[in-house]
Structure 1
Amino acid sequence: MGCGTCTFSVKMSIFLVLLDISYSMHCGPRINVPGAEGGGATLPVRVQGQVKDVSWVISDDGRLNHFATTKPNEPIDIRDNKFDGRLRSETNGSLTLTDLTNQDQGIYTANIRSQSNQRCDQLYHLQLYKTLTSEDILIHLNVTLSETHNGPCTITGTLSCAVIGSDVTLTWNNTNSPGTEVTNHTLRIYNAQSHVTYSCTARNPISEASRTAHIPCNREFTRREIGNYTRQNMIRLGLASVILIITSYLILQHFHGMKIEM
Structure 2
Amino acid sequence: MASLFCQSVILLCVLKRVGCLDCGGFSTLSAEERGQIIFPGADRGYIVWSVYTDDKWHVIAEFGNVTAYGNDRYQGRLRISSQGSLIINDLRIRDTGRYRADIRDDDMLCSSLFNFKVQRKISLQDIKINYVMTNREPCHINVFCTVHGIKAVVSWNISHGEGTVAQLPFPSWHTFLYFDEYKGISGSVLNVSRVNPELTYSCTAKTRFCTASRSVTPWEYCQQGKISSENININYLITDEEACSVNVFCTVYGIPVPVSWNVTHGVGAVNQLTFPHIEYGTSFNEENKNIYGAVLKVLNADPELTYSCTAATATNATSISVRPWEYCQQGGTLRDRSYTIENTIRLALAVCILLSGSLLSYCHINTELN
Q: Confirm or deny a common fold (TM above 0.5).
A: yes
**Residues 63-142 of structure 1 correspond to what in structure 2 (within 5 A)?**
63-69=56-62, 71=64, 76-80=65-69, 81-82=71-72, 83-113=74-104, 119-142=109-132
Corresponding residue of 2:215? 212
TM superposition shift of 1:138 = 1.6
Distance 1:27 1:219 in 2: 56
Distance 1:95 1:180 in 2: 46
2:140 matches 1:156: yes
Corresponding residue of 1:32? 29
Relative contact order (C-alpha < 8 Å, sep 6+): which is higher? 1
Supply the AA of the counterpart residue of 1:54: I
| 1:143-164 per-position Cα deviation (integer Å, ceiling 9, x unaligned) | 45657xxxxxxx5221111222
TM superposition shift of 1:54 = 1.8
Distance 1:96 1:108 in 2: 12
TM superposition shift of 1:94 = 1.3
Supply the AA of the counterpart residue of 1:44: P
| 1:191-239 per-position Cα deviation (integer Å, ceiling 9, x unaligned) | 353322211112334332110112347842489xxxxxxxxxxxxxxxx
Distance 1:93 1:215 in 2: 54
8 A contact 1:51–1:93 mirrored in 2 = no
RMSD: 3.4
TM superposition shift of 1:95 = 0.9
| 1:74-131 per-position Cα deviation (integer Å, ceiling 9, x unaligned) | xx343424145221223432111134444322100012345x6664322112222322
**Residues 106-255 of structure 1 correspond to what in structure 2 (within 5 A)?**
106-113=97-104, 119-143=109-133, 144=135, 155-174=139-158, 177-178=163-164, 180-184=166-170, 185-191=188-194, 193-216=196-219, 219-221=222-224
| 1:50-72 per-position Cα deviation (integer Å, ceiling 9, x unaligned) | 3333210122322221220255x
8 A contact 1:129–1:205 mirrored in 2 = no
8 A contact 2:142–2:190 mirrored in 1 = yes
8 A contact 1:200–1:211 mirrored in 2 = yes
Q: Normalising by the residue count of structure 1, what TM-score does the alignment of the two structures yield?
A: 0.58
Note the residue ranges of structure 2 that are not aligned, 5 or more in a row: 1-17, 171-187, 227-370
8 A contact 2:131–2:142 mirrored in 1 = yes
Distance 2:165 2:66 in 1: 62
Corresponding residue of 2:339? none
Distance 2:165 2:88 in 1: 49
- Given the superposition, is the C-alpha separation of residues 168 and 70 from structure 1 closer, same or farther in structure 2, using an over 3 Å criterion? farther
Distance 1:179 1:43 in 2: 42
TM superposition shift of 1:44 = 2.7
8 A contact 1:167–1:205 mirrored in 2 = no
- Worse overlay, 98-107 or 126-135: 98-107
SS at match of 1:142: strand
2:36 matches 1:54: no
SS at match of 1:103: helix
8 A contact 2:59–2:67 mirrored in 1 = no
Distance 2:151 2:25 in 1: 24
- Given the superposition, is the C-alpha separation of residues 139 and 70 from structure 1 closer, same or farther in structure 2, using an over 3 Å criterion? farther
8 A contact 1:132–1:207 mirrored in 2 = yes
8 A contact 2:196–2:219 mirrored in 1 = no
Distance 1:70 1:160 in 2: 53
Look at both structures and tell me which one has the larger radius of gyration over its CA atoms: 2
Supply the AA of the counterpart residue of 2:77: R
| 1:18-77 per-position Cα deviation (integer Å, ceiling 9, x unaligned) | xxxxxx8552332222241x54322233x6xx3333210122322221220255xxxx34
Supply the AA of the counterpart residue of 2:58: N
